[in-house]
A and B are shown apart, each in its own frame.
Chain A
Amino acid sequence: MTDCYDEFNLEDYADVEPLPIVTGLKDELCQIMYSEEYKQLMGLMRAFLSSNELTPRAMRLTARVIAVAPAFYTAWNYRFNIVVAIAKDRLDQEFQWLDEVTLNNPKNYQIWSYRQALVENLGQDLTLRGDLPIMDMMLDDDTKNYHVWSYRKWAVLHFKDFTHELSFVDKLIDRDVYNNSAWNHRMFYMKNVSPDDRTIDEEITYTKNKIELVPQNISSWNYLRGLYDHFKPETGHKGELLKFAGGFIDALDLNATADSAESLPEIESSYALEFLASEYATEGQLQRAKNAYQCLALKYDPIRGSFWNYKITTLEA
């Protein structure tokens, strides 16, 4: 029983004197009754942290402590030092262990910074392929997990491998067109692969199709606007796009001033209306822009009434 990856066994630590907690508070924890195993583990952990022993049994102890308290980042830091010292040629096993911890602790984020530290410092021979299964699995399970998405961006940039990203994001948007994380990742992808004009036009068509599918979706509208702002700043959002957005507010007459919510018809998308309003504002069609903001304040998005009223005052200035 001397290997880094063997089971944790208390007998291996018989010679270690567990260290007590010193907090400076009165009544030094005399009344604490937390679980016996936890007490023992933490006592050992403190002793090892202070002796800084870099051995297989120290590594087994960190695994046990992390299993009980996965957010205890000092244990992760310590484990990293041990791996560097005695197990850096066994990364396969380390990742296997880490994958298991990851699956058991989907909300924890130390797992991802630990992974990043391993890849960055010891992973000269690795590729993105090694990371894909666990990332895909975690995002399949929780499609908006912020830490997995952040790690994914880091890993893609680190390995300079964008080949899997578009199809992956396609799949997630097909599954849930409201998934803002997936739309954001799509923008990250586009900005990093320097697409040609044809690709951008295809991308615009793709986005419009998704908007037609679900018109009241801020993520796809933001993405559409982002595409134009970033890749077609010179053309603005004019012409055809105004017609596209106008299609979702058919029943509304923006040449008329609205005075009550009751007099206004149903529309398909408040985001389309907001989009039109800001376009009219930049084009100098101030009365139409004002009418559009007024409608948002009155009926289509009243909770943000003071914001829309502010937009009206900027037109009057």
Chain B
Amino acid sequence: MQLLKEKHIAYVKSLDSHTDDYEYWLSEHLRLNGVYWGLTVLCILGSPETFDKDDVIAFVMSCWDDKYGGFAPFPRHDSHLLSTLSGLQILATLGGLDNVKKDQLKLSQCLKFISSNQLEDGSFQGDRFGEVDARFSYNALSCLSILGELTPEVVDPAVNFVLRCYNFDGGFGLSPGAESHASMAFTCLGALKITGKLHLLSPEQIDMIGWWLCERQLPEGGLNGRPSKLPDVCYSWWVLSSLAIIGKLEWIDYEKLTQFILSCQDEKRGGISDRPNNEADVFHTVFGVAGLSLLGYKDLVPVDPTYCMPYSITATFQKYGLY
């Protein structure tokens, strides 16, 4: 089976015109994330101009939270680290970062929003209501990296916390002691990579981590997120990007995983689902396509495993620390 590029482009395009769809409006709380996922699919498929750039930037800016800084997923919602990262990723991708970077008030509000969510132990809460999750550490560090504003005051305690999420089995959990989960491997390794701190993991730990990650591949080819769970296309991204970050991508059976991802395509309407024959969504579409890009599938734009954005964009980010 082949990658149905044109179908997927049409699918992402159609999402934007589904505004009369009830489900679409129920996902307001993920809208900015959804725009980032859709845009990134289009970039990887080599069709970044599908959406009107100015429209998208205007929408992103309409999600700005005037009171607390940062981006909400939708106008008038509260800002959150998850949607703030999506907002900055979209702006960076479309060349609109100056809307924040060159606006002194917005920039300082944004930096304050991010650093005010860092807790004493170095961890981050997603917003002022206190939910802590290693994902938010990644979000915060990635935001600061995109803005070129990483500092040791934020980075050092943040890295300490991330390292505490490493588990006895070689995986990473959402918080110290929480069960290892593939998405947490990505957020923790990504956080270490962004801050130039990967060397804090010993070679033995890297081998353990690599084993835990490639252990996620099931005989049928797909990857699961935890032992004894079903395979799911989004883990193609969480696991592959993690392996790519530690330079061990070849520990996966490329051929079998490629076939698994391709078998999850909706051949009629485009889009990719979590497992064969399920309903496609933009989340699994971006992580399926980004996974294929990491696997070197032909004619795809190379994607940076640390940021889940095209290399051509992330190459412009200011580097922090040692690599």
Q: In the complex, A69 Cα to B28 Cα: how many Å?
A: 9
Q: How many residues of B contact A (CB 8 A)?
A: 53
With A80-B129, A306-B250, A310-B251: A146-B228 Cβ-Cβ less than 8 Å: no
Q: Does B291 contact A (CB under 8 A)?
A: no
Of residues 223 to 267 in A, which have CB atoms within 8 Å of B's CB atoms? Answer: 225-226, 229-230
Q: Nearest residue in A to B175 (C-beta to C-beta)?
A: A150
Q: Which residues of A contact B217 (CB under 8 A)?
A: 303-304
Q: Which residues of A contact B226 (CB under 8 A)?
A: 144, 180-181
With A71-B29, A74-B29, A146-B181: A226-B22 Cβ-Cβ less than 8 Å: no
Q: In the complex, A185 Cα to B210 Cα: how many Å?
A: 23
Q: Which residues of B contact A225 (CB under 8 A)?
A: 168
Of residues 172 to 189 in A, which have CB atoms within 8 Å of B's CB atoms? Answer: 178-181, 184-185, 187-188
Chain B positions 190 through 225: 1 when the CB is less than 8 Å from some CB of chain A, otherwise 0: 000000000000000001001100110111010000
Q: Does B112 contact A (CB under 8 A)?
A: no
When the two chains form their complex, are residues B55 and A116 in contact, meaning their CB atoms are under 8 A apart?
A: no
Q: In the complex, A84 Cα to B30 Cα: how many Å?
A: 27
When the two chains form their complex, are residues A73 and B80 in contact, meaning their CB atoms are under 8 A apart?
A: yes
Chain A positions 206 through 218: 1 when the CB is less than 8 Å from some CB of chain B, otherwise 0: 0000000000001
When the two chains form their complex, are residues B20 and A226 in contact, meaning their CB atoms are under 8 A apart?
A: no
Q: Does B164 contact A (CB under 8 A)?
A: no
Q: Which of B21, B215, B256 is most buried by chain A, counting CB atoms within 10 A of its CB?
A: B215
Chain B positions 38 through 61: 1 when the CB is less than 8 Å from some CB of chain A, otherwise 0: 000000000000000001001101
Q: Which of B75, B129, B130, B251 is most buried by chain A, counting CB atoms within 10 A of its CB?
A: B129
CB distance from B206 to the nearest CB of A (A): 11
When the two chains form their complex, are residues A181 and B127 in contact, meaning their CB atoms are under 8 A apart?
A: no
When the two chains form their complex, are residues A22 and B131 in contact, meaning their CB atoms are under 8 A apart?
A: no
With A74-B77, A80-B129: A32-B174 Cβ-Cβ less than 8 Å: no
Of residues 212 to 248 in B, which have CB atoms within 8 Å of A's CB atoms? Answer: 214-215, 217-219, 221, 226-229
Q: Nearest residue in B to A222 (C-beta to C-beta)?
A: B169
Q: Does B317 contact A (CB under 8 A)?
A: no
Of the listed stretches A8-16, A23-31, A90-98, A195-203, chain B binds: A23-31
Q: In the complex, A121 Cα to B127 Cα: how many Å?
A: 15
Q: Does B26 contact A (CB under 8 A)?
A: yes
With A69-B28, A180-B179, A180-B227: A117-B20 Cβ-Cβ less than 8 Å: no
When the two chains form their complex, are residues B129 and A77 in contact, meaning their CB atoms are under 8 A apart?
A: yes
Q: In the complex, A218 Cα to B253 Cα: how many Å?
A: 20
Q: Does B316 contact A (CB under 8 A)?
A: no
When the two chains form their complex, are residues B251 and A218 in contact, meaning their CB atoms are under 8 A apart?
A: no
With A22-B75, A116-B130: A144-B168 Cβ-Cβ less than 8 Å: no
Q: Does B78 contact A (CB under 8 A)?
A: yes
Q: How many residues of A contact B (CB 8 A)?
A: 63
Q: Which residues of B contact A77 (CB under 8 A)?
A: 78, 127, 129
CB distance from B295 to the nearest CB of A (A): 14
Q: Does B19 contact A (CB under 8 A)?
A: yes
Q: Does A113 contact B (CB under 8 A)?
A: yes
When the two chains form their complex, are residues A187 and B20 in contact, meaning their CB atoms are under 8 A apart?
A: no
When the two chains form their complex, are residues B130 and A303 in contact, meaning their CB atoms are under 8 A apart?
A: no
Q: Does A50 contact B (CB under 8 A)?
A: yes
When the two chains form their complex, are residues A22 and B78 in contact, meaning their CB atoms are under 8 A apart?
A: no
Q: How many A-B residue pairs have CB under 8 A?
A: 142
When the two chains form their complex, are residues A69 and B76 in contact, meaning their CB atoms are under 8 A apart?
A: no
Q: Does A21 contact B (CB under 8 A)?
A: yes
CB distance from B50 to the nearest CB of A (A): 15
Q: Which residues of A contact B229 (CB under 8 A)?
A: 144
When the two chains form their complex, are residues A74 and B19 in contact, meaning their CB atoms are under 8 A apart?
A: no
Q: In the complex, A150 Cα to B59 Cα: how many Å?
A: 35
Chain B positions 56 through 92: 1 when the CB is less than 8 Å from some CB of chain A, otherwise 0: 0011011000000000100111101000000000000
Q: In the complex, A63 Cα to B24 Cα: how many Å?
A: 21
Q: Does A88 contact B (CB under 8 A)?
A: no
Q: Does B119 contact A (CB under 8 A)?
A: no
Q: Does A72 contact B (CB under 8 A)?
A: yes
When the two chains form their complex, are residues B169 and A226 in contact, meaning their CB atoms are under 8 A apart?
A: yes
CB distance from A278 to the nearest CB of B (A): 10
Q: In the complex, A178 Cα to B25 Cα: how many Å?
A: 39
Q: Which residues of A contact B251 (CB under 8 A)?
A: 304, 306-307, 310
Of residues 110 to 131 in B, which have CB atoms within 8 Å of A's CB atoms? Answer: 127, 129-131
When the two chains form their complex, are residues B168 and A73 in contact, meaning their CB atoms are under 8 A apart?
A: no
When the two chains form their complex, are residues B29 and A72 in contact, meaning their CB atoms are under 8 A apart?
A: yes
Q: Nearest residue in A to B52 (C-beta to C-beta)?
A: A26
Of the listed stretches A33-41, A128-136, A162-170, chain B binds: A33-41
Q: Nearest residue in B to A181 (C-beta to C-beta)?
A: B179
Residues of A within 8 A of B (CB): 19, 21-26, 29, 31-35, 38, 42, 46, 49-50, 68-69, 71-74, 76-77, 80, 113-114, 116-117, 120-121, 144, 146, 149-150, 153-154, 178-181, 184-185, 187-188, 191-192, 218-219, 222, 225-226, 229-230, 303-307, 310, 314
Q: A26-B55, A178-B227, A305-B253 are in contact. List 6 more A-B contacts (CB 8 A).
A: A24-B58, A24-B61, A146-B181, A153-B178, A179-B228, A310-B251
14 pairs of residues in contact across A and B, judged by CB atoms under 8 Å: A24-B59, A32-B25, A46-B76, A72-B28, A74-B76, A74-B77, A80-B129, A117-B130, A180-B227, A180-B228, A184-B180, A229-B168, A303-B217, A303-B221
What 9 A-B pairs have minimum CB-CB distances, sorted nearest first? A113-B131, A24-B62, A226-B168, A24-B58, A184-B179, A222-B169, A178-B228, A180-B227, A74-B77
